[in-house]
Amino acid sequence: MSTPEHGLASKHTTGQVAAAWLRASPGPLLICEHCDTVHRGRALARGEEMCCVRCGALLQRYHALDAGGMLALVLTALLVFLIANVWPVVTLGLGTQQSSATLWGMILRMWSQGSEVIAVVAAATLFFFPLNKMLMLGWVLLFARDGRRAPGFVAIMRTLYHLQPWTMTEVFVLGALVSIVKARAYFDVQADPGIWAYGVLTFLITIFSGIDLRRLWDTTERRA
């Protein structure tokens, strides 16, 4: 980790003790995002987490996956995402009639039924954002495997940071389960491959959510 530490505490003399602490302890500087407390990072053992001493927020956690492992995960997720979007999620039967829905069928239907806002929100949080997230992450990781920075690295990493909270695939999966139960009272309900793919995707997303992408800034070099 690169940290410009020269003359760090020269300007603000309020924290003389703190400055001494800063010089005394080794390791890269970590600043808690939730309370601004400064820590020294260290190498963590498997399964270990480092939390802020002041507010208890997570600072650092052990990463079992390297860039190659993460790339494999992203490619798997992309494949599953494709399956989840091509196959219908659920099929309803009423007498001889059948009706099934895919994600895009749902989005277009909401648009044509006058809930354009919801159609846009669903398209963004369930399709465009997750897809872009996987593609961008895959691109960055492809280069990060040999410690290089992909073309557009800085812009992509910033976009990924901002997209972070806006993907809602997990919520959609739970929504699909609720819909199935609601519909079951009136129709014959059949779960389609799409819902299983979404289930797997949720599992992969859970693994992803534990990964701190910021370390890619440290593990890659500016010039390849």
Partner 1 sequence: MSGAPRAHELGIIGCHVCGLVCREPSVDDAACPRCGAALHRRKRDSIRRTWALLIAAFILYVPANVLPIMRTVSLGDIDDNTIISGVVELWVKGSPSLAVIVFTASIVVPMTKFLVLGTLLVTTQRGSNWALRQRARLYRAVEFIGYWSMLDVFVVALLTALVRFGFFSQVEPLTGVVFFGLTVILTMFASMSFDPRLMWDGPDHD
What gap in Å lies between CA 47 and CA 63, rounded to an integer? Answer: 8
Residue closer to partner 1 by CB (options 51, 79) is 51
Alpha-carbon distances, residue 94 vs 97, 106, 175, 186, 188 (angstroms): 5, 19, 21, 8, 7
189 φ/ψ angles, rounded to the nearest 5 degrees: -110, 135
Q: Of residues 4-43, which lie at the interface with partner 1 (CB under 8 A)?
A: 4, 7-12, 14-15, 17-19, 21-22, 28-31, 33-39
User: What interhelical angle do 129-144 and 153-163 show, nearest 10?
Assistant: 140
**Unique residue bearing structure tokens 């797997």:** 200
What gap in Å lies between CA 222 and CA 150, rounded to an integer? Answer: 9
206 forms part of the interface with partner 1 (CB under 8 A): no
178 forms part of the interface with partner 1 (CB under 8 A): yes
Q: What is the dihedral of CA 75, 81, 83, 85, to 10 degrees?
A: -150
Instruction: List the one residue from 62, 146, 214, 224 that touches partner 1 (CB under 8 A).
Output: 214
Beta bridge partners of 100: 91
Q: Could you tell me the smallest distance in angstroms from the CB atom of residue 206 to partner 1?
A: 13
Q: Could you tell me the smallest distance in angstroms from the CB atom of residue 22 to partner 1?
A: 6
State the pairing for strand pair 49-51/58-61.
antiparallel
Instruction: List the one residue from 68, 115, 135, 151 that touches partner 1 (CB under 8 A).
Output: 115
174 forms part of the interface with partner 1 (CB under 8 A): yes
Identify which range of 48-56, 71-79, 133-141, 196-204 contacts partner 1 by CB under 8 A. Answer: 48-56
Q: Of residues 53-112, which lie at the interface with partner 1 (CB under 8 A)?
A: 53-57, 89-90, 92, 94-95, 97, 99-101, 105-107, 109-110
What gap in Å lies between CA 203 and CA 86, rounded to an integer? Answer: 19
Identify which range of 72-80, 127-135, 136-144, 177-185 contacts partner 1 by CB under 8 A. Answer: 177-185
What gap in Å lies between CA 63 and CA 220, rounded to an integer? Answer: 16
Q: Of residues 118-147, which lie at the interface with partner 1 (CB under 8 A)?
A: 118-119, 121-122, 125-126
202 forms part of the interface with partner 1 (CB under 8 A): no
Residue closer to partner 1 by CB (options 72, 222) is 222
Q: Could you tell me the smallest distance in angstroms from the CB atom of residue 66 to partner 1?
A: 19
